[in-house]
A and B are shown apart, each in its own frame.
Chain A
Amino acid sequence: MEMGTNMTKPSVNELSEIAKKVRVDIVKMIFEAGSGHPGGSLSAVELLVALYYGQLRKEDKFFLSNGHICPAWFSVLAEKGLIEKELLSTYAKLGSPLQGHPERKFLSLVENTSGPLGLGLAQAAGYATASRLDKKDLRVYCMVSDAEHNEGNTWEAISFANKYKLSNLTLIVDRNGIQIEGTTEEIMPLGSLASKYQSFGWEVIEIDGHNFDEIFKAFEDAKSFKDNPCVIIAATTFGKGVSYMEGNPSWHAKAPNKEEFEKAMEELKNA
């Protein structure tokens, strides 16, 4: 499997074009399935595109913790040619390898079955620990949502990664600020995630999660820390690219109707 690397990294313009296609795919998949999570899928697009088009080597591993944003991930895999593009229209349908939340037994590219929040970082940390025990030269990437920091399991894993000094682990937080029933600050205030991570012994990089240059620089910087795990806190816009979804929690888990779908397509294609 060719994961992207050793190949020349596409230009920012090319990456932006890919991101555009991915956003169209996301809204299509969710519309066709009549189910899915558009807000968080749309906010994570540039982070996932950057990861797959310029960062992951084939020995590296990617753990998606916030599995509900898998339309974005599946779409990046399809753009990248790692899965058939035709599969996207089967998302969340009976028998599809693309389950509503990603599942290992349905798709071998899935490292960790995910969906229930708070379980991914610990698995990534476990993988990083085992890899170090086996002296493997690989990096484990993990993406979590900001709301997953409501979960105790996430903080247990943050402590573990610090204790075992997992410098082979890069965590990406999609800080879109929205969860099911409101903003993250209304539901359960997260405050400064950066200072929380710092006090837990992590290296912290804060970026604009839609800016490819910043994302790639953060990925490189994260690799330079030799003693501690590193978190990239990426500020993003929930529902990015579809005006009526942006920043609106009601689009956490909702499929657009036909009219809404057409409006989204128009906006995304003309962006």
Chain B
Amino acid sequence: MLKSVRDGFGEGLIEAGKRDENVVVLTADLGESTRAEGFREKFPERFFEVGVAEQSLVTVAAGMALAGKIPFTTSYAVFSPGRTFEQIKVTAALNDVPVKIVGAHAGFGAAPYGATHQSLEDIALMRVIPNMVVVAPADFEEAIKATKAVAANGKPTYLRLARQDSEVFTKPDDKFEIGKINVLSYGEKPQVAIIGCGPILAEALKAAKNLKAKEIDVMVVNSHTVKPIDEEGIVKAAKLCGAVVTCEEHQIAGGLGSAVSEVLSRKFPVPIEFIGVKDSFGESARNWEELWQKHGLMAKDIEGAVQKAIIRKND
């Protein structure tokens, strides 16, 4: 079944709004495509349209948070956090108030629009700011849970949303806890741990299946929280497998792969291969899949990285 992460966000947002009347939502003229629209219909008095003004989007929200609100700011990731780094650092994170930065169309989702509308740097931007929490849900179901958890975590938080419809591989009753990995699949004698975040995990699961047919067992780990990263869970996976492949729809520099490698190089060094965008911009394409193919984010690319990691491990 195909459904989008952003639609999950829209549903989670309404639930969060029902659960806590301090939840308010702001948008910079992108309520419909970020899926904040449903909240506007349900709670019009708690919805604020700031116009195409992302700096104000974040700073007005920070003022609301100082007054006790839990504001979700909605725009495209290229604009916020893309344009709003300083506003987020100073008014959300340094103030340490629970402003939620919702970055929609993250990754290649806005494919035809070209590089200006494709956000491949947002995780890196957000995870270097002290106090920030960074969450990148993998599918529709997880986005519902992540949105509710983010509403309740009391911290400035970046919530990364993919635009495209994608495989729903998590279940409504799967546990979701910010800062804790979920193991998605687990072979009998896993030789490599594939650790990823976002919809690319569907490709990782495909890769695991294909590798299984070649008698290579792997485990697939969903690290939906990039910060604070689950050090214990990642070290455990590395110890069990002895090699790691990270995957993300984001620049390799500064993203989840970097976060994983920062943990493992300190605590349990193993060979790591990285699936992600290699220091390049996107471009226009008919859909996200063409760009995933071009940038090497498909199951076959992950399989290749797994085989490389095994060779390095056994070297």
Q: By DSSP majority rule, is chain B's interface helix, strand, loop, or mixed?
A: helix
A99 to B313, CA, bound (A): 51
Chain B residue at minimal CB-CB distance from A151: B55
What are the residues of chain B within 8 A of A103 when measuring CB–CB? 94
Chain B residue at minimal CB-CB distance from A164: B48
Query: Within 8 Å of chain A (Cβ to Cβ): is B232?
Result: no
Given A105-B96, A164-B48, A129 and B59 contact (CB-CB distance below 8 Å)? no
Which of B46, B67, B95 has most A Cβ within 10 Å? B67
Given A126-B62, A126-B66, A104 and B90 contact (CB-CB distance below 8 Å)? no
Query: Within 8 Å of chain A (Cβ to Cβ): is B30?
Result: no
A122 engages B86 (CB within 8 Å): no
Query: Within 8 Å of chain B (Cβ to Cβ): is A200?
Result: no
Query: Within 8 Å of chain A (Cβ to Cβ): is B56?
Result: yes
What are the residues of chain A within 8 A of B46 when measuring CB–CB? 133
Given A116-B90, A156-B56, A160-B56, A123 and B66 contact (CB-CB distance below 8 Å)? yes
Query: Within 8 Å of chain B (Cβ to Cβ): is A112?
Result: yes
Query: Within 8 Å of chain A (Cβ to Cβ): is B53?
Result: yes
What are the residues of chain B within 8 A of A129 when measuring CB–CB? 48, 60, 63-64
B67 engages A122 (CB within 8 Å): no
Min C-beta distance of B61 to chain A, whole Å: 6
What are the residues of chain B within 8 A of A64 when measuring CB–CB? none
* Interface residues as binary, A115-138 with B (CB distance below 8 Å gives 1, 0 otherwise): 110110011111111110110000
Which of A115, A128, A160 has most B Cβ within 10 Å? A160
Q: Which of A142-158 contact B (CB under 8 A)?
A: 152-153, 156-157
Query: Within 8 Å of chain A (Cβ to Cβ): is B68?
Result: yes
Q: By DSSP majority rule, is chain A's interface helix, strand, loop, or mixed?
A: helix
Query: Within 8 Å of chain A (Cβ to Cβ): is B119?
Result: no
B64 engages A130 (CB within 8 Å): yes
Q: Which of B34-79 contact A (CB under 8 A)?
A: 45-46, 48, 50-51, 53, 55-56, 59-69, 71
A119 engages B64 (CB within 8 Å): no
Query: Within 8 Å of chain A (Cβ to Cβ): is B87?
Result: yes
A99 to B236, CA, bound (A): 42
A126 engages B63 (CB within 8 Å): yes
A142 to B198, CA, bound (A): 41
A123 to B69, CA, bound (A): 12
Given A126-B59, A164-B48, A133 and B24 contact (CB-CB distance below 8 Å)? yes
A63 to B62, CA, bound (A): 12
Query: Within 8 Å of chain B (Cβ to Cβ): is A111?
Result: yes
What are the residues of chain A within 8 A of B62 when measuring CB–CB? 112, 122-123, 126
Query: Within 8 Å of chain A (Cβ to Cβ): is B91?
Result: yes
A123 engages B94 (CB within 8 Å): no
B94 engages A122 (CB within 8 Å): no
Which of A116, A122, A164 has most B Cβ within 10 Å? A122
Query: Within 8 Å of chain B (Cβ to Cβ): is A16?
Result: no
B90 engages A119 (CB within 8 Å): yes
* Interface residues as binary, A66-98 with B (CB distance below 8 Å gives 1, 0 otherwise): 000000000000000000000000000000000
What are the residues of chain B within 8 A of A114 when measuring CB–CB? 90
What are the residues of chain B within 8 A of A163 when measuring CB–CB? 51
Which of B45, B59, B96 has most A Cβ within 10 Å? B59
What are the residues of chain A within 8 A of B24 when measuring CB–CB? 130, 133
Q: Which of B81-107 contact A (CB under 8 A)?
A: 86-87, 90-91, 94-96
Given A103-B94, A105-B96, A156-B51, A134 and B59 contact (CB-CB distance below 8 Å)? no
A163 to B90, CA, bound (A): 25
Given A103-B94, A104-B95, A157 and B68 contact (CB-CB distance below 8 Å)? no
B63 engages A125 (CB within 8 Å): yes
Min C-beta distance of A229 to chain B, whole Å: 13
Min C-beta distance of A204 to chain B, whole Å: 21
Which one of B45, B61, B65, B95 lies within 8 Å of A113 (CB-CB)? B95
Query: Within 8 Å of chain B (Cβ to Cβ): is A248?
Result: no
Min C-beta distance of B137 to chain A, whole Å: 27
Min C-beta distance of B46 to chain A, whole Å: 7
A156 to B75, CA, bound (A): 16
What are the residues of chain A within 8 A of B87 when measuring CB–CB? 119, 153
A118 to B87, CA, bound (A): 10
Sample of 29 A–B contacts (CB below 8 Å): A112-B91, A112-B95, A116-B86, A116-B90, A118-B55, A119-B86, A119-B87, A119-B90, A122-B56, A122-B91, A123-B62, A126-B59, A126-B71, A127-B63, A129-B64, A130-B68, A130-B69, A133-B46, A133-B69, A134-B67, A153-B55, A153-B56, A153-B59, A153-B87, A156-B55, A157-B59, A157-B60, A159-B51, A159-B53
Query: Which residues in B have some Cβ–Cβ distance to A below 8 Å?
Result: 24, 45-46, 48, 50-51, 53, 55-56, 59-69, 71, 86-87, 90-91, 94-96
Give 10 closest A-B pairs by Cβ, nearest first. A126-B63, A156-B56, A122-B59, A130-B67, A123-B63, A156-B53, A126-B60, A153-B55, A127-B63, A126-B64
Besides the known contacts A113-B90, A123-B91, 7 further A-B residue pairs in the complex with CB atoms under 8 A apart: A103-B94, A104-B94, A113-B91, A123-B63, A126-B71, A133-B69, A153-B55
